[in-house]
Chains A and B, each alone.
Chain A
Amino acid sequence: MKTRGSKWRKSGFHWLLISPSLLFLGLFLVVPFVLLAVLSFRDVDSLMNLLPTYSFAQYKEIFTSDIYLGTIGSTLWVALVTTAICIVLAYPAAYLLVRSPNRKLRTFFYILLVSPLLTSVVIRTFAWIVLLAQNGLVNEFLLKLHLIDQPLSLLWNMKAVIIAYVQVMLPFAVMPIATSLEDIRPNLRQASMSLGAGRIRTFARVTLPLTVPGMISGAAIVFSLAAGSYITPLLVGGRLQPLLPLAIYQQVMQISNLPLAAAMSFTLLILVAVVVGLLGLIMKRWEAKING
C-alpha cells in the first residue's frame, strides 16, 4: 500500500491548496443556491410576507400564466436569435483575427475585441442609448442627410435589445471560433484545394465542420449571457419588455415577492442548463468522432 499512501500524501497538499476556494464557493455559491431553491417552494400572502408553508404554488403560477409563459418564450427566442447572429458575425471577425498578416494588426483587432469586455456592461449599453435615442447620433445623422424628417423611435423595443446584445456578446463568440480556426492545420485547406474544391467549398466542407467545437462553445456562452441579462434590456428596451431576467429583477426590487422570483430564477437556470447541456452533448459526440 506504499503507492496508495504516497499518492494521498501528494494530493493532500493540493487538496489543502484548493480547500479555501471550495469553502468559499460552498458557502457563497452553493448555500445561497440551496436556500433559493427552498425559498422557491414557499408561499406568500397577499402582502408578500413569507408564510411557513411549502408548495408548488410559485411554479404553478409561472407555468399556468400566459404572461409568464410568453415571457419565457420570448426570452428563449431573443437568446436564440442573438446567438445565431453572433455566430454568423463571429466568422468574418475571427477570420480577420487569425489571418492578420502581422502581429501588430492582430493585436489591434484583439484589443478592439476585448477592451469593450473590460468596461462595465452599463457603459456598453449606455452607448446604445446615446446612439439610438431620439436626439442620439443615428437620428442626428439621418436627419442631417435628410433621409427622415422626424426622429425615429429606435429604443424601447426588442430589436434594440437584440442589437445591443449582439454588440455586447459578440466577443464571446469570436474568441472560441478564432481558436478553433487557428487549430485547423493549414494543409487541410491546401489538401482540399488540391483536390479541386475552391475557397467557398473548402470553407463549407472542411473549415466550417472543423470549427464546430468553437461554434458550440461560443453559442453556449452567448446563449447563457443573453438569456440571463437584465441590465441591457432594462436600459435599452424599457421595463416593459417580456424577458425573464427583467421580470425577476422587478419581482425582487419592486414587488418584493421573493419566492416567485426564486422560482423564476430556477426556471431560468434550468432552461439555460438544458440548452447548454444539449450543446455539450453535441460537442462530446463530435469530439468522439474526430478523436476517438
Chain B
Amino acid sequence: MSGIRIQGVSKHFGDNVALKRVDLEIREGEFFSLLGPSGCGKTTLLNMIAGFLEPTAGEIAIGGRDVTWLPPYQRNIGMVFQNYALFPHLNVFENVAYGLKIRKKPRAEIRSRVEESLAAVRLESFAKRMPHQLSGGQQQRVAIARALAIQPAVLLLDEPLSNLDAKLRKEMQTELKNLQRRVGITTVLVTHDQEEALSLSDRIGILGGGELQQLGTPLEVYRRPANRFAAEFIGQVNLIEARPLSDGQPASPGLLLFAAEGFETEPGKPLLLEAANEPSLKRGGPVKLMLRPERIRVSGEPRERGANCARARVADVSYAGNALRITAKLEGSGELVIHAPDPSFPDLPEPGQPLHLRWQPEDLIPLLPEAGRP
C-alpha cells in the first residue's frame, strides 16, 4: 500500500505562487511522470512529496499515512537527484550502504543488499571506486542503487537523466523502466522532456502555471490533449481557429463543417475543415482545432477538392534523419507544419515546391478553451 495522495496542495513563496492547487492520486506500483516546462512547479511538488518543502495548504499521504509534516528522514522515500548527489568522501559501496547503516541493519544484511542493488544496476565490480572515478551514467546508476537499497515506499526522481548525453539518456531510460517493472515500486519522475515522459510512464501529469493541466496515460495525453497548453507542450501541433458553417453540408453524417480563420486554400477562400461531431463541439461557437504534423499526408498530385485538404508550397525543410519537418505555406494564407517520415521523398523537397496536403476528420482534435481537468 504505497500510493501517493496529494490533496489540495498549494505552495506560495511569499507573493510568488509556485503551485495553485493540485489534487492528484498516484497509484501503487505506477510509474508516474510530472511533466512541464521549467518553473511550472513540478520540482516544487516533488520536493513536497519528499519533505524538503512544506505545502502552504493541503495534505500529502504516502501509503495511507499522512506525511505532510514529517521530515524527509521519516518518510521512507528513495530519491535520485539531477546531479546524482553521491557523497564524494565515500566509495560506491559506502554510498549505497548509507541508508542501511542509518537504519542500523546488521553487517551481513547490508552487504547482501548493497551487492543486490549494485547488481541490479550492473555495477557489481565498482564497489570500491570513489565517485570521482565514475562517469556520469555510472554515478547516476549508483544513485539509483542507493535509493533502492533501502527498499523505500516510493521512488522519487528529479530530472535524473538531464545531465547525460542523448544516447546515454536513451539507454538509461530503458534501464530505468525495466528496473521499475521488476521492483514494482511506486515511482514519480519529474522531467521537462516529453519524449522521456511518454516512453516511460504509465500515467503523466502535465503541470503548467502551477496547476495540473492534464492527467492521463501517454496515449491519452498525446492523442487527446485536454487543452492548448497540453497540446503545445507534448509534441508539435498545428492550431487552427475555426467557426462552424451552418450552410453547406459535410460529406458524411456525423461530421461538422468549419471554416478556418487565418488559413486560405486560395486568396479569399478559407480552408474548410470537417471534424467528427462530439459533445464539446455541439455548442456551436468558434473552436480551436489541433492537427498533429504527422497526421498530414503529403502527395505531389492533387486529390479532390473539398474539406480537409489544401494546396501549399514548401517554405522550409528540416531533415532530422528519421523524419522531415516541412513548413508549408498554403496557397491563400496560413502555414502548416508537417512531419513526414523518411523516406517520403526520393529527394528533399525544395522551397517553393508545390505540395498537396490531406488529413482525416478524426485527426482534428478540439481543444477546451481553458485549463481543463480530467
**A292 partner, pick from B72, B98, B99, B133, beta carbons under 8 A:** B133
Interface window among B81-89, B110-118, B257-265, B322-330:
B81-89
**Which residues of chain B are within 8 angstroms of A210 by Cβ–Cβ distance?**
88-89
Q: Mark B128-148, 1 if CB is under 8 A from A, else 0.
A: 001011000000000000110
Which of B99, B146, B156: most chain A CB closer than 10 A? Answer: B99
**Which residues of chain B are within 8 angstroms of A191 by Cβ–Cβ distance?**
79, 81, 85-87, 146
Q: Which of A262-292 contact B (CB under 8 A)?
A: 289-292
Q: How far apart sit A290 and B77, CA to CA, in the bound complex (Å)? A: 27
**Which residues of chain B are within 8 angstroms of A187 by Cβ–Cβ distance?**
81-83, 85
Nearest B residue to A195 via CB reads B99
Q: Is B73 an interface residue (CB 8 A)?
A: yes
In angstroms, how far is the closest chain B Cβ from the Cβ of A6? 35
Cβ–Cβ contact A190 & B81, under 8 A: yes
Q: Is B71 an interface residue (CB 8 A)?
A: yes
Cβ–Cβ contact A289 & B130, under 8 A: yes
Q: Mark A166-210, 1 if CB is under 8 A from B, else 0.
A: 000000000000000000010110111111111001000110011
Q: Which of B94-134 contact A (CB under 8 A)?
A: 98-99, 102-103, 130, 132-133
Q: A190-B52, A209-B89 are in contact. Are A195 and B81 (CB under 8 A)?
A: no
Cβ–Cβ contact B71 & A195, under 8 A: no
Q: How far apart sit A205 and B98, CA to CA, in the bound complex (Å)? A: 9
In angstroms, how far is the closest chain A Cβ from the Cβ of B85? 4
Cβ–Cβ contact B150 & A196, under 8 A: yes
Cβ–Cβ contact A197 & B73, under 8 A: yes
Q: A191-B87, A196-B99, A197-B73 are in contact. Are A292 and B130 (CB under 8 A)?
A: yes
Cβ–Cβ contact B89 & A196, under 8 A: no
Cβ–Cβ contact A198 & B71, under 8 A: yes
Which of B88, B99, B132, B146: most chain A CB closer than 10 A? Answer: B88
Cβ–Cβ contact B83 & A185, under 8 A: yes
Q: Is B242 an interface residue (CB 8 A)?
A: no
Number of interface residues of B (CB under 8 A): 29
Q: A209-B89, A289-B89, A290-B89 are in contact. Are A193 and B130 (CB under 8 A)?
A: no
Q: Mark B145-164, 1 if CB is under 8 A from A, else 0.
A: 01100100000100000000
Cβ–Cβ contact A194 & B88, under 8 A: no
Q: How far apart sit A195 and B88, CA to CA, in the bound complex (Å)? A: 16
Nearest B residue to A210 via CB reads B89
Q: Is B50 an interface residue (CB 8 A)?
A: yes
Q: How far apart sit A198 and B146, CA to CA, in the bound complex (Å)? A: 17
Cβ–Cβ contact A194 & B130, under 8 A: no
Q: A187-B81, A201-B102, A289-B89 are in contact. Are A194 and B72 (CB under 8 A)?
A: yes
In angstroms, how far is the closest chain A Cβ from the Cβ of B355? 50
**Which residues of chain A are within 8 angstroms of B51 by Cβ–Cβ distance?**
193
Q: A195-B98, A195-B102 are in contact. Are A290 and B88 (CB under 8 A)?
A: yes
Cβ–Cβ contact A194 & B73, under 8 A: yes
Cβ–Cβ contact B83 & A292, under 8 A: no
Q: Mark B4-15, 1 if CB is under 8 A from A, else 0.
A: 000000000000
Q: Is B78 an interface residue (CB 8 A)?
A: yes
Cβ–Cβ contact A196 & B103, under 8 A: yes
**B71 partner, pick from A185, A193, A205, A206, beta carbons under 8 A:** A193
Nearest B residue to A206 via CB reads B87
Nearest A residue to B82 via CB reads A187
Cβ–Cβ contact A290 & B130, under 8 A: yes
**Which residues of chain A are within 8 angstroms of B86 by Cβ–Cβ distance?**
191
**B73 partner, pick from A193, A289, A291, A292, beta carbons under 8 A:** A193
Q: Mark B56-72, 1 if CB is under 8 A from A, else 0.
A: 00000000000000011
Nearest B residue to A184 via CB reads B88
Q: How far apart sit A210 and B98, CA to CA, in the bound complex (Å)? A: 16
Q: How far apart sit A198 and B52, CA to CA, in the bound complex (Å)? A: 12
Nearest B residue to A288 via CB reads B130
**Which residues of chain B are within 8 angstroms of A193 by Cβ–Cβ distance?**
51-52, 71-73
In angstroms, how far is the closest chain B Cβ from the Cβ of A30? 39
**Which residues of chain A are within 8 angstroms of B78 by Cβ–Cβ distance?**
194-195
Cβ–Cβ contact B79 & A194, under 8 A: yes
Cβ–Cβ contact A197 & B102, under 8 A: yes
Nearest B residue to A202 via CB reads B73
Q: How far apart sit A251 and B146, CA to CA, in the bound complex (Å)? A: 63
Q: How far apart sit A201 and B50, CA to CA, in the bound complex (Å)? A: 18
Q: How far apart sit A188 and B86, CA to CA, in the bound complex (Å)? A: 7
Q: How far apart sit A188 and B131, CA to CA, in the bound complex (Å)? A: 13
In angstroms, how far is the closest chain B Cβ from the Cβ of A201? 6
Cβ–Cβ contact B71 & A190, under 8 A: no
Nearest B residue to A198 via CB reads B73
**Which residues of chain A are within 8 angstroms of B103 by Cβ–Cβ distance?**
196
**Which residues of chain A are within 8 angstroms of B87 by Cβ–Cβ distance?**
188, 191-192, 206
Cβ–Cβ contact A190 & B79, under 8 A: yes
Q: How far apart sit A8 and B258, CA to CA, in the bound complex (Å)? A: 78
Nearest B residue to A189 via CB reads B85
In angstroms, how far is the closest chain B Cβ from the Cβ of A102? 12
**Which residues of chain B are within 8 angstroms of A205 by Cβ–Cβ distance?**
98
In angstroms, how far is the closest chain B Cβ from the Cβ of A271? 31
- A-B CB proximity, top 9 nearest: A195-B99, A194-B79, A191-B85, A193-B72, A187-B85, A196-B102, A187-B81, A197-B102, A193-B73
List 29 A-B pairs, Cβ < 8 Å.
Answer: A185-B85, A188-B87, A190-B85, A191-B79, A191-B81, A191-B85, A191-B87, A193-B52, A193-B72, A193-B73, A194-B79, A194-B147, A195-B150, A196-B73, A196-B103, A196-B150, A197-B73, A197-B99, A198-B71, A198-B73, A210-B88, A210-B89, A290-B88, A290-B130, A290-B132, A291-B88, A291-B132, A292-B132, A292-B133
Binding site for B on A (CB under 8 A): 185, 187-188, 190-198, 201, 205-206, 209-210, 289-292
Taking A185-B85, A196-B102 as known contacts, 18 extra A-B pairs with beta carbons closer than 8 A to each other, sorted by chain A number, are A190-B81, A191-B81, A191-B87, A194-B50, A194-B72, A194-B78, A195-B78, A195-B102, A195-B146, A195-B147, A196-B103, A196-B150, A197-B102, A206-B87, A289-B130, A290-B89, A290-B130, A292-B132
